[in-house]
Amino acid sequence: MIVLGIDASLRGTGLAILDWEGNRGRALHGEVVKVPQKYPHSECLRRIRDRVETLIAAHHPAEAAIEGGFFFKNPKVALVLGEVRGTVISTCAVAAVPVYEYSPRRAKQNVTGWGAAPKDQVARMVMAMLSMPETPADDITDAFAIALCHVHARRGLAPLTPL
């Protein structure tokens, strides 16, 4: 099964393509969609949509997994993240790729065994689970962790959370 993992952010969205077969997974692709501060929100969303469309066309994921929203003290940050998530979810929907949501805590718990694991521990476990030779950027690691969490949910190792 090929899964698209997404760590949504306006200026640095992490995208990961995971291929899982049997008991083994491998990283097919990972990237961060970086958009400079000088670009307006609409351009950021367009670039994110374009990259998601391109990855879906190239890899044909069966499903997508996105990091769920969590509590924000700043409503503006929550609104912006909602815009990015909406863009990604609608892009997947147009391509008939079902989207599942997992909290950051759940993804960390799933990959490391501890929901409050630091980023470096998550990165080491993602690298080990996918036999990656080098540490990916944090946003890519998070996208792979979300994809791995989804695969484990699909295999019955954790509850499945559809959007």
Q: What pLDDT is stored for residue 68 in this prediction?
A: 86
pLDDT confidence of residue 157: 57
pTM of the model: 0.93
Q: What is the pLDDT of residue 161?
A: 62
Amino acid in the structure at residue 24: R
pLDDT attached to residue 140: 97
Quick check: 11 and 34 in contact, CB under 8 A?
A: yes
Across 71-96, b (16+ Cβ under 10 Å) vs e yields eeeeeeeeebbebbbebbbebbeebe
3-state secondary structure of 153: helix
Q: Who's near 59: CB < 8 A, 6+ residues apart?
A: 2, 4, 17, 28, 29
How many helices and strands (H and E) does the chain possess?
A: 5, 5
**Which residue is it, tokens 């994921």?**
61
Cα Rg of the chain, angstroms? 15
Structural contact between residues 101 and 150, judged by C-beta atoms closer than 8 angstroms: no
Active site residues: 7, 67, 139
In the CATH scheme, what is the homologous superfamily, with its name and number, of domain 2-154?
Ribonuclease H-like superfamily/Ribonuclease H (3.30.420.10)
CB atoms within 10 A of CB 109: 17
CB distance 150 to 102 below 8 Å:
yes
Can you give the residue ranges of every domain in the chain? 2-154
pLDDT in tens, the chain (163 residues): 999 999 999 999 999 999 999 889 999 999 999 999 999 999 999 999 999 999 999 999 999 999 986 666 788 888 899 999 999 999 999 999 999 999 999 999 999 999 999 999 999 999 999 999 999 999 999 999 999 999 998 877 555 566 5
